[in-house]
Amino acid sequence: MKLIDKEQMDIIRKKHSEAKKDFKNRCFFLIEALVSGDIIYADIEKIEEDICKIAHVGTGTCENPHEDWIEDVEKMFLKFEQNGLL
């Protein structure tokens, strides 16, 4: 396994930071964290609902965007990011 040097890590962090500026990418980060087990939910139905909500608003194809869902996803992203989970 090859170790990543500081310069390469800085490039990765910059790409990660840039990606977070896009709503669709934030949705991908959330879904990845939810399904990878980085975030533990006591209620499986709740995690399924959250993933569905995130995917639905993240695609951007809904004819009637659910503003409350978009707001929920943004709040979830900020909460997880502030807690070091993203």
pTM for the structure as a whole: 0.73
DSSP characters over the chain: -PPPPHHHHHHHHHHHHHHTTSHHHHHHHHHHHHHHTSS--S-HHHHHHHHHHHHHHHH---SS--HHHHHHHHHHHHHHHHTT--
pLDDT for the residue 38: 67
pLDDT for the residue 2: 67
Listed as ranges, residues in the chain with pLDDT below 70 are 1-2, 38
